Structures are given as structure tokens and as C-alpha cells.
Chains A and B, each alone.
Chain A
Amino acid sequence: MAKTVDVENLSIYYGSFLAVEDVTMTIRAQQVTALIGPSGCGKSTFLRSINRMHEVIPGARVEGRLALDGRDLYGPGVDPVGVRRQVGMVFQRPNPFPTMSIYENVVAGMKLNNRKASKPVLDELVEMSLRGANLWKEVKDRLDKPGSGLSGGQQQRLCIARAIAVQPDVLLMDEPCSALDPISTLAIEDLINELKTEYTIVIVTHNMQQAARVSNYTGFFNIEGTGKPGRLVEMDETRTIFSHPAEKATEDYVSGRFG
């Protein structure tokens, strides 16, 4: 299931604007990789480039190579829709589909793609995904209720259940806890710890304690100034990044001396 992502000299452009320059990193399978850095440094853009979600903005393109277990995701003939079925994503704000029930939200990946499955198979998928997202106990009696009626933290876990229901190889999380209270954040962090046994997880976060708590590897992105491209300054084991990073900029940032 979990796969390795290899990034080589990846630059991301919006039209002629260079947003992220020359990123090279390896995102290891069954590990949690955190991306930290100041706002606007391109970490979210980079994250979105892993499942080609940044392409929804017209004029977006990349140079370089981004491979999932050796298969180039930007190679000729690769369909971005196919990429997104392998690389799932959880967003900053919980976004369950408001027209669908909790049950329908979980199977949305199947339903919206018109993949037919029998009722028992779907039931099992729903239970498995909701258990996987630590939400089953809370919602098992109201699966037919709208997903938008849940609390923010539950909605976010519902979105995670929806993302893992399509059984992706990699799970991207774009600041998944920034709209949540500390208790819901803790629930999501515990969940990330459990999920990493099956998935490759990449998480963007502004919360350095969170990066330190949940991740095995950490990449630090930085930007020299407005209009300049974001760059990957340093990537290493989380322990190393937070105790004795190689770069001065990283140390300044993780110790709070930045800006």
C-alpha cells in the first residue's frame, strides 16, 4: 500500500511566476513527513504538487521529476485524475459534502466515480474507514445523518475516513488541525500515528510542536522575500531538525527566533 515519493529538482510555476524552486527530497513509505516553514514559503504548493492538485489553478506547471515508487507522476500520458486516486488529500478546513449523509460522504470516492459495489461491501468499507479514522463509535448510530451536522473535529476525521476509503498509497494533509480545538487536534494526531503503519503521510503544519510530535522526518521550507521562490532549506529526521539542524535558518525558525 504505502509507497515512496521521490522528488528530484522539482520547480513549480504559476504561469511565469516561480513559486517553489528546485526541491529534492525522498518521502519514505510508512513514515510521517512534516513540512514546516513560514507562510507563503510554498510548502502547501509543494504538497499539492504531489497529487497534482495545484493544477486546478490555471497556468500551473512543474519542472523536474516527482515519482511514486519509481513511476513519474508527471510523465506523458499520466492522468492527474488517476494520480489523485493514489494520492489522497485532507484539507485545512473540514469539507464534507453538504448534500450527503455521513455514510455517503465516506463512500463518496466510490459513488462519485460510479464504481458499483454491493451493499454489504459498501457497509464494510464504511465501517473500516470510519474505524480507521477513529470516528466509528461516535457516528455508527447516525450514519444517515448529514455530515455537516458533526463537530469540526468529527468533520475532519470524516474527511480523513473519506480519503482513506479510496485506499490511496499516500495521504497528504494540508494543515489538518489548524481549524480545530486542542482536543480534536489530539484525536487527529493520534490518528496520524495509527495511519502511518499503512500509509505514507505528508503533513503541512504551522505548529512546530505538532511536527515534533507526529513526524519522523521534517522538511523546512523558507523564502527569502516576497516574490522570491520558496526553497527546501533542509530535510532530516525530525529529532535532528529540532535538536541540531545543519542550517542556521532552520535553527532560528524551530527555536522561534525567526522573523
Chain B
Amino acid sequence: MSTGIGNARREADTELATGPLPSITSPVRPLPDGSPWGILGTTAVVVGGGTLLLGHGVGLAVTLTAVVYAAAMYGVARVVEGPRKAMDRLVTILVTAAFLVALAPLVSVVATVVANGVARFDVEFFTYSMRGVVGAGGGAYHAVLGTLIITAIAAVLSIPVGLLTAVYLVEYGRGKLGRAITFFVDVMTGVPSIVAGLFAFALFALFFGPGVRMGFMGSVALCVLMIPVVVRSTEELLKIVPNELREAAYALGVPKWRTITKVVIPTSVAGIASGVTLAIARVVGETAPLLIAVGITTGVNLNPFDGRMATLPVFSYYSYVAPGVPREPFLDRAWTAALVLIILVMALNLLARLVARAFAPKTN
């Protein structure tokens, strides 16, 4: 066998010495490095520019450019580089296009909110409430505090419940009860936020009579939304803790509950902490449930158990749907409130990353 292969190779070598090899080994002539950009530029100028000149919108110009560019690239690559490379280039373009499409609304939202919100992003916005303010000036001090208080209470209530539920599901929950809880957590994940608000409203109306509003009610509504998120993310993280670590602890004569609190949770605490932070980020911008449960007020109310409280999303919403006269100061404040919310969510996401890094198990 081996001598056969050796012979074949020697023959190939002599062939290489005497004449050209068959086409499989002939070097592929790649397109020059800059050529995709060149083709993109040309397409943009010709197709995009042409479309604009004919008086159509930017959207159509960009779409047409993308389609023509993909077709042109595929055609050129197929002729020069062969079908496999051409398909590679086509798919690269499609994937990149999908990424840009996904990114477009995000960039657009951030840009619009920053552009419109930066006007009132000043000290007064964070130091004044809306009490007695009819026109320009005023701020969202009361709404910022309201959001922080209501979200903090929601977090304090949801995190232990969610964490312990996840521990139950991963470490103890077998059989029907475990499956039932998993099912209902899944259902809760899909509950529309307005339903959570109505639930809290109906629940508190039973005890305090109809028409009751308080910050705590909003926290309860947010809990309904937050608990399933905490359960899901914690559950996934507890599941990926290797079983070997649990066995190692058991083999040392460590009881199960201590194994969970001292081995399983510490091993996954980085992920859990970041999952929890993301869950907070998810509910901090909820509007609908707070609209129903907490309402809005113009002054500072720091007592979550008594009366209406302002929150950033609801503040933004009301400033927009029910502005005073003149409208502009109200709309400016609405944009700034939205900007503050985005910054808050972004800060929480960053915090999640820092927390994950701080808690991560160290390897050297």
C-alpha cells in the first residue's frame, strides 16, 4: 500500500518537474484586497446616487444599493474566484446586511433620544420636581427617586424568590411539582406587562378598595415581571455548574444545603449577579404597569405605601400625551426622561459586566 502511494507521489513529482499539474492544485486567483470596497463604492454612487437623483427616498437607495452590490459581488467572484468563494462572499454580505438591519433601529433610537434629550439634561432636571411648574424649567427629581425606590423594592422582593425558586428547580424539583413550576415560570415570562399592572391593581383593590394608588403596588407589578426572568437566568446558570463539584462536596461529607450555598452558588455567582442586574434593567423602563398601579404626581413622594408616585417612564409618557401650554418644555422634559432611562439601563448593563468579572472564578 505505502509503496503504491509513494510511487504515485513520485510520479506526481516528476510531472511537476516536467509539466503543469491538473487544475485542482492551480493557485486560486483571489480578488484584490480592496475590490469589495471598490465595487461597493461604485454601486453606491451609480445605483444609490441614481435613485436619489430620480427623486426617490434614502431607504430605497440604500436597499437597491445593497441588492445590486450583493448580485455584482457574487457575479464577479464567481467569474474570478469560482463558485465556492462566490457563495462565501454572498453569505458574508447577507450576514453583514442582517447585522446592519438589526443595528439600525438601535442606533436611530439612541441618536434621536440623545439629540432631543440633551437640551434639558441639566442640573435643574435632577434637582427640581414638577410641583408648581407650568411652563419651562422644572425637572424629574421626583420621577428619578420614584423609579429608584419602586425598582429597588421590586428587586428586593423578586431576587430572593427567584433565586430560591431556581435553586429548587435545579437541585430539588423533580417530578410533577418541578415540571409544573417550570411551566408556569415559562407562562409568566410571556405575560404582557399591562396584565401584571392589572393584577397588582386588582389585588390591592381587594384590600384597600378601588382607586388605590401606591408605589408598592407598582413594585408588586414589577415583581410579577421580574421573578420569571430571575428564575430563568439563575436556573440556566445553576444547571451549568458541573455535577462533579457537587459530588466532590458530597464525598467530603458535606450536606446538600451546604453544598448548594457554599459550592454551587459561589461557583455560579458571577453569572447570577449579572443575570439579576439585567432583570432589573429589564423592568426599570416598564411603563404600562406603573401607569395603572402608581399613576403620576408632580411632587416628591418618598413613601411607597402612600399615594401616587412619579416614575421616569410614566413621567415621560404623561409629558408627551398631556403636555401643558406651551408644549415644547414638556416635550423636552419627556425626551430627557427617556435619555435618563437609557443611561440608567446602560449603567446597569455595565454594572452587570463588572459584577460578573469581579465574582468570576479565578484561574491563576
Contact = CB atoms under 8 A, between A and B. Distances in A.
B364 A145 contact: yes
A146 B263 CA distance: 15
A108 interface: yes
Q: In which size bucket is the chain B interface?
A: 20 to 34
B103 interface: no
Contacts of A16: none
Contacts of B364: 145-146, 149
Nearest to A113: B254
Contacts, number: 83
Interface string B15-45: 0000000000000000000000000000000
Interface residues of A, number: 33
A166 B251 CA distance: 10
Contacts of A51: 251
Given A95-B242, A146-B361, A146-B363, A53 B247 contact: yes
A12 interface: no
B247 A91 contact: yes
A182 B198 CA distance: 67
Interface string B251-262: 111110011001
Given A91-B244, A97-B248, A162-B252, A112 B361 contact: no
A114 B245 contact: no
A109 B247 contact: no
Contact of B252 (A88, A99, A145, A149): A88
Contact of B361 (A83, A88, A148): A148
A98 B258 contact: no
Interface string B323-364: 000000000000000000000000000000000000001111
Interface in B227-270: 242, 244-255, 258-259, 262-263, 266-267
A112 B262 contact: yes
B176 interface: no
B174 interface: yes
A82 B253 contact: yes
A123 to B, nearest CB: 19
Contacts of A28: none
A91 B253 contact: no
A61 interface: no
A56 B171 CA distance: 11
Contact of A88 (B244, B251, B258, B263): B251
Interface string B72-88: 00000000000000000
Contacts of A145: 364
Nearest to B270: A99
Contacts of B244: 91, 93, 95
A99 B264 CA distance: 10
Contacts of A112: 249, 252, 254, 258-259, 262-263
Contacts of B361: 98-99, 146, 148
A111 B262 CA distance: 9
Given A97-B245, A112-B259, A146-B363, A53 B252 contact: no
A84 to B, nearest CB: 4
Contacts of B259: 112
A96 to B, nearest CB: 8
A256 interface: no
B238 to A, nearest CB: 14
Contacts of A149: 363-364
A58 B172 CA distance: 11
Contact of B267 (A98, A111, A162): A98
Contact of A159 (B248, B254, B266): B248
A108 B250 CA distance: 11
A116 to B, nearest CB: 15
Contacts of A135: none
A145 B363 CA distance: 8
Nearest to B244: A95
A216 B51 CA distance: 88
Given A81-B254, A98-B267, A112-B259, 19 more contacts: A56-B247, A83-B253, A84-B251, A84-B252, A88-B251, A91-B247, A95-B244, A95-B245, A95-B247, A96-B248, A97-B267, A98-B245, A108-B249, A112-B258, A145-B364, A146-B363, A146-B364, A163-B251, A163-B252
16 contacts: A51-B251, A58-B174, A81-B250, A82-B253, A83-B253, A84-B253, A86-B253, A89-B247, A98-B363, A112-B258, A112-B263, A149-B363, A149-B364, A159-B248, A162-B248, A163-B251
**Top 7 A-B residue pairs of the complex, sorted by shortest distance between their CB atoms:** A85-B253, A89-B251, A149-B364, A98-B361, A95-B244, A109-B252, A84-B253
